[in-house]
């Protein structure tokens, strides 16, 4: 849509006053480039001007003598001048730096602008350099004080948003995230708008006289207004909710593009969020708003007399008078109470009354997000962009705070949600803000006491955050151990210099309180063979971070190592080896588990609160069961693989029972290896088989027997549907909990063959039937003389190892001969080990042709 023009201005005709053609001007007077057309009817910042015609005299050059502009009988509150003074070299100091044309100098009397009234009286205003006028070429930081650049501020989409809209990014990455540019930044050269106040607005003006004084200057245009508020002063942010007129449409982002304000800027015009506030105040664990396709929330800055224009077709538009804006619910454009009251928001823990780090969301009566100061109005959900202490769950946006923040709030109802992990009762409420509200205090109650019973939580998989932000998010999510993983994405490296192979942020040894820890490890990655997370190891970083070419390592990199070699180095350096985001990539992980180089398998979910995501991946669970069925008693862990604000740190998390250990990072690793863990997106789960916890073994005589299985589950918000006792991968006992938050039970289970037992908890954030919400690690139940070995699963695992060998042999980029031999030997070792177990268990099988071929080729 064309830039809109305010109706409150009358351009002054300068035809008889123009002295030169601006095209003929040179050096410091040359016409500025990039500020728009400088002839004919133009508008600058929504203000219309009648400029001169091309190819003739079209600008007033003030030099030597004054210029008279007859205006007949003009009445005005302000006369707006579009002008510039000649560039000049700044003279900072005798003998120093006298070559810079930076516009830093100020105060010279450039000209006098005089108003001659019809009654013969006159008023003269001095036009001082850098006050009312500035030169066209300036350096950063040399703005004028009483004049504005002739271009409005601009508003931009981020780079990713531009790509969603099918555009090449108009602003580069990073710069795009600022979402705006001042008028000053939008062109290299400038013209300046100055509003000359008329001290006698009631008296008709007969003539304007512009008289040069100490410098040369150019006047391109003059326009008059009767507006009483200063026509160039920027307004502060306001909001309105617009019901879209017929013909207006939203873009792919759900934003209204064809919208403008004449004397102001539309900051954003985004689909409004409609909350059901009765549900908000209810017990549902997640309440999301509906994104409207009928209404937008417009945030804007404008002059009090500005008008809003919305395109309704290619050359039609609807105009709204922002001066007449009301809060009446039935108007098409509703004033939304502006968030102008700074209020301190404090969150304390009930028992101690001490501030507690939390994740917080606030919105106003019209669904408008109200970010704490220092946070985005629109949280950027995209990969590797804006990696700060924020989270966005579909349309609900959140900030992480250290127990206190300042939020600019509207007067009236404000809706709040505050959470702190899976043992603290979440708060979702409404408060009323008045003109006297300075402080809002919320109290959080810890209702589950699993930490007190030796359980600590961890996210085994976080990327991109700074360690300090990871610590804050861990505290606010109740995640005691955050594993921040450095890695490589092609030519991009992340968190590499946050790794020192030594420090645990938050640990008492490093000045912390020891209750929340961040440790930087690495996720070493390659596309085909797989990814592996190396946590908490000491000493040198294990390189290569990634190998084997794109998209994990860089194009042209050789396939230098196997994951098994990475794992062995991590073990040698005292670390914990986790196979991330089961089940993929499925390939070498099979070999490494067979080689017993893996300490835990990770189930990953970016954000279990998002109704479009899976809470706990059933394919990952199935993959894990396969190894349990072969007797590899891998504990389960949970990690978010957080790489953006759309992902929830600790959304899926590991609970580890410390046992008798104190809580330190290395004890957490040891306890996790010991295997009494569970993975959860909400409910907490405890299991005993004959009094033995997950990670342990129960032995039965050759005839088998009956074992007692007892369990307990508790949840602060996610309703539990069903609790299942899983034996060898199949549910053999189910307890229906019917959306309760707590349950316990026990059962006698008959066992005839060696197997394993674990607890699986079903329940859903969105009431989806059958979703898995938590899963414990397994207790092995071994019947003497009967090995825990599933032939079917052995075949599937062997085939993966053969696949890894095939890849290394054929299309993997080749390293030096010695490295290649070593890699192949590692994979062969895994193959042989499993192969032998298969034969020991009487399993005869067909070897894959590719593998047979390779064997004969080798020999
Ligand atoms: Zn990965
Ligand atoms: Zn990752």
Question: Tell me: the pLDDT tens digits for 518-577?
Answer: 999 999 999 999 999 999 999 999 999 999 999 999 999 999 999 999 999 999 999 999
The rounded Å distance from CA 746 to ligand 2 centre is 38
Q: What does the pLDDT read at residue 859?
A: 32
The rounded Å distance from CA 683 to ligand 1 centre is 25
Instruction: Determine the Cα–Cα distance for residues 236 and 302; give it in Å rounded to an integer.
Output: 7
21-38 confidence digits (pLDDT tens): 999 999 999 999 999 999
The rounded Å distance from CA 470 to ligand 2 centre is 15
Q: What does the pLDDT read at residue 838?
A: 92
The rounded Å distance from CA 483 to ligand 2 centre is 11
Average pLDDT value over all residues in the chain: 95
Q: What does the pLDDT read at residue 475?
A: 98
The rounded Å distance from CA 702 to ligand 1 centre is 42
CB burial of 176-215 (b: ≥16 within 10 Å; e: otherwise) equals bbebebebbebbebbbbbbbbebeeeebebbbbebebeeb
Instruction: Determine the Cα–Cα distance for residues 270 and 557; give it in Å rounded to an integer.
Output: 44
SS3 (DSSP) at 259: strand
Instruction: Determine the Cα–Cα distance for residues 223 and 696; give it in Å rounded to an integer.
Output: 85
The rounded Å distance from CA 646 to ligand 2 centre is 15
Comparing CA positions, the residue from 511, 386, 460 lying closest to residue 654 is: 460
Residue pair 52/58 in contact (Cβ under 8 Å)? The answer is: yes
Q: Which ligand is nearest to the CA of 485?
A: 2
Give φ, ψ of 275 to 5 degrees: -95, 145
Comparing CA positions, the residue from 140, 174, 176, 139 lying closest to residue 158 is: 176
Does 853 score more than 50 pLDDT? no
The rounded Å distance from CA 307 to ligand 1 centre is 51
Burial, 316: exposed, middle or buried (Cβ in 10 Å; 0-12, 13-18, 19+)? Answer: exposed
The rounded Å distance from CA 381 to ligand 1 centre is 19
In angstroms, what is the C-alpha Rg of the chain?
A: 35
The rounded Å distance from CA 672 to ligand 1 centre is 20
The rounded Å distance from CA 476 to ligand 1 centre is 25
Residue pair 448/423 in contact (Cβ under 8 Å)? The answer is: yes
The rounded Å distance from CA 478 to ligand 1 centre is 24
Residues 6+ apart with CB under 8 A from 631: 754, 780, 787, 788, 789
Q: Are strands 600-604 and 576-579 parallel, antiparallel or unpaired?
A: parallel
Q: Where would I find the beta strands (DSSP E) of 539-663?
A: 576-579, 600-604, 636-639, 653-657
Question: Which residues, by Cβ under 5 Å, contact ligand 1, an ion?
Answer: 531, 580
Task: Calculate what percentage of the chain has a pLDDT beyond 90.
Answer: 93
Instruction: Determine the Cα–Cα distance for residues 473 and 685; give it in Å rounded to an integer.
Output: 23
Taking the mean position of all CA atoms in its chain, how far away is CA 83? 43
Does 849 score more than 60 pLDDT? no
Instruction: Determine the Cα–Cα distance for residues 742 and 757; give it in Å rounded to an integer.
Output: 21
The neighbour count for residue 374, using CB atoms within 10 Å, is: 11
Q: Are strands 404-409 and 412-419 parallel, antiparallel or unpaired?
A: unpaired
CB burial of 443-467 (b: ≥16 within 10 Å; e: otherwise) equals ebebebebbeeebbbbbbbbbbbbb
DSSP 819: H
The rounded Å distance from CA 821 to ligand 2 centre is 28
The rounded Å distance from CA 351 to ligand 1 centre is 40
The rounded Å distance from CA 376 to ligand 1 centre is 28
Does 857 score more than 70 pLDDT? no
Q: Which ligand is nearest to the CA of 495?
A: 2
The rounded Å distance from CA 528 to ligand 1 centre is 12
3-state helix, strand, coil in the chain (%, to 5): 15, 40, 45
Does 844 score more than 60 pLDDT? yes
Instruction: Determine the Cα–Cα distance for residues 262 and 191; give it in Å rounded to an integer.
Output: 19
The token duo for 30 is 């040359």
The rounded Å distance from CA 581 to ligand 2 centre is 8
Q: What does the pLDDT read at residue 848?
A: 58
Give φ, ψ of 169 to 5 degrees: -55, 130
């Amino acid at each position: 849509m064309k830039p809109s023009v305010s109706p409150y201005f009358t351009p002054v005709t300068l035809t008889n006053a123009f002295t030169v053609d601006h095209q003929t001007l040179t050096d410091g007077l040359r016409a500025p480039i990039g500020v728009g057309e400088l002839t004919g009817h133009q508008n600058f910042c929504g203000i219309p001007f009648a400029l001169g015609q091309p190819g003739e005299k079209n600008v007033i050059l003030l030099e030597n003598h004054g210029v008279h502009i007859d205006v007949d009988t003009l009445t005005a509150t302000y006369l707006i001048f579009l002008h510039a003074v000649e560039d000049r070299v700044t003279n900072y100091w005798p003998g120093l730096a006298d070559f810079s044309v930076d516009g830093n100098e100020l105060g010279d009397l450039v000209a006098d602008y005089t108003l001659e009234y019809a009654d013969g009286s006159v008023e003269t205003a001095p036009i001082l350099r850098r006050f009312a006028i500035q030169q066209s070429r300036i350096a950063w930081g040399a703005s004028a004080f009483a004049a504005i650049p002739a271009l409005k501020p601009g508003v931009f989409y981020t780079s990713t948003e531009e790509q969603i809209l099918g555009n090449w990014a108009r602003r580069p990455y990073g710069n795009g995230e600022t979402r705006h540019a001042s008028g000053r930044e939008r062109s290299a050269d400038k013209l300046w708008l100055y509003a000359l106040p008329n001290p006698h607005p009631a008296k008709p003006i007969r003539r304007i006289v512009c008289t040069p004084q100490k410098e040369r200057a150019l006047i391109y245009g003059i326009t008059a207004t009767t507006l009483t508020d200063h026509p160039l002063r920027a307004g502060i942010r306001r909001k309105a909710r617009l019901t879209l007129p017929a013909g207006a449409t939203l873009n792919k982002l759900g934003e209204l593009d064809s919208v403008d304000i004449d004397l102001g800027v539309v900051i954003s015009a985004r689909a409004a969020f409609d909350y059901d506030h009765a549900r908000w105040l209810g017990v549902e664990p997640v309440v999301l708003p509906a994104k409207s396709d009928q209404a937008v929330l417009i945030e804007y800055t404008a002059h009090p007399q500005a008008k809003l224009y919305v395109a309704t077709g290619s050359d039609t538009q609807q105009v709204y008078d922002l001066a007449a804006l009301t809060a009446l619910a039935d108007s098409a454009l509703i004033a939304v109470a502006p968030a102008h009251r700074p209020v301190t928001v404090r969150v304390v823990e009930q028992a101690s009354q001490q501030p507690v780090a939390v994740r917080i969301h606030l919105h106003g009566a019209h669904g408008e997000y109200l970010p704490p100061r220092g946070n985005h109005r629109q949280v950027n959900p995209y990969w590797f962009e804006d990696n700060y202490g924020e989270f966005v769950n579909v349309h609900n946006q959140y900030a992480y705070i250290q127990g206190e923040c300042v939020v600019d709030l509207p007067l009236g109802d404000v809706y709040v949600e505050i959470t702190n992990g899976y043992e603290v009762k979440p708060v979702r409420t409404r408060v009323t803000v008045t003109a006297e509200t300075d402080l809002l205090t919320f109290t959080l109650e810890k209702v589950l006491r699993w930490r007190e019973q030796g359980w600590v939580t961890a996210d085994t998989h976080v990327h991109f955050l700074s360690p300090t932000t990871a610590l804050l998010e861990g505290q606010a999510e109740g995640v005691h151990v955050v594993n921040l993983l450095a890695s490589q994405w092609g030519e991009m490296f992340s968190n590499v210099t946050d790794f020192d192979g030594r420090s645990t942020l938050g640990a008492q040894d490093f000045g912390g309180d020891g209750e929340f820890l961040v440790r930087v490890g690495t996720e070493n990655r390659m596309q085909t063979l797989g990814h592996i997370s190396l946590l908490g190891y000491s000493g040198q970083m294990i390189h290569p971070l990634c190998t084997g070419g794109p998209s994990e390592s860089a194009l042209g990199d050789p396939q230098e190592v196997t994951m098994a070699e990475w794992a062995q180095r991590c073990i040698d350096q005292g670390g914990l080896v986790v196979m991330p985001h089961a089940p993929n990539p499925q390939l070498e992980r099979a070999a490494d588990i067979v080689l017993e180089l893996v300490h835990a398998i990770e189930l990953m979910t970016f954000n279990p609160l998002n109704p479009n995501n899976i809470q706990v991946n059933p394919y990952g669970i199935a993959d894990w069961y396969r190894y349990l069925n072969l007797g590899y008693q891998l504990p389960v862990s949970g990690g978010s693989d957080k790489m953006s604000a759309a992902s929830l740190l600790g959304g899926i998390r590991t609970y580890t029972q410390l046992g008798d250990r104190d809580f330190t990072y290395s004890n957490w690793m040891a306890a996790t290896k010991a295997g009494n863990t569970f993975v959860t997106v909400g409910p907490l789960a405890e299991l005993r088989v004959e009094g033995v916890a997950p990670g342990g073994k129960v032995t039965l005589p050759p005839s088998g027997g009956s074992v007692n299985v007892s369990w307990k589950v508790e949840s602060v918000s996610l309703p539990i549907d069903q609790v299942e006792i899983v034996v060898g991968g199949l549910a053999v006992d189910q307890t229906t909990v019917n959306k309760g938050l707590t349950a316990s039970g026990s059962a006698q289970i008959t066992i005839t063959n060696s197997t394993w037992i674990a607890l699986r908890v079903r329940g859903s954030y969105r009431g989806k039937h059958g979703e898995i919400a938590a899963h414990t690690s397994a207790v092995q139940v071994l019947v003497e003389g009967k090995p825990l070995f599933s032939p079917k699963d052995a075949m599937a695992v062997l085939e993966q190892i053969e696949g890894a060998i095939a890849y290394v042999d054929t299309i993997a980029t080749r390293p030096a001969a010695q490295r290649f031999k070593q890699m192949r030997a590692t994979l062969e070792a895994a193959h042989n080990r499993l192969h032998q177990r298969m034969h020991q268990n009487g399993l005869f099988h067909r070897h894959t042709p590719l593998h047979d071929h390779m064997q004969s080729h080798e020999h």
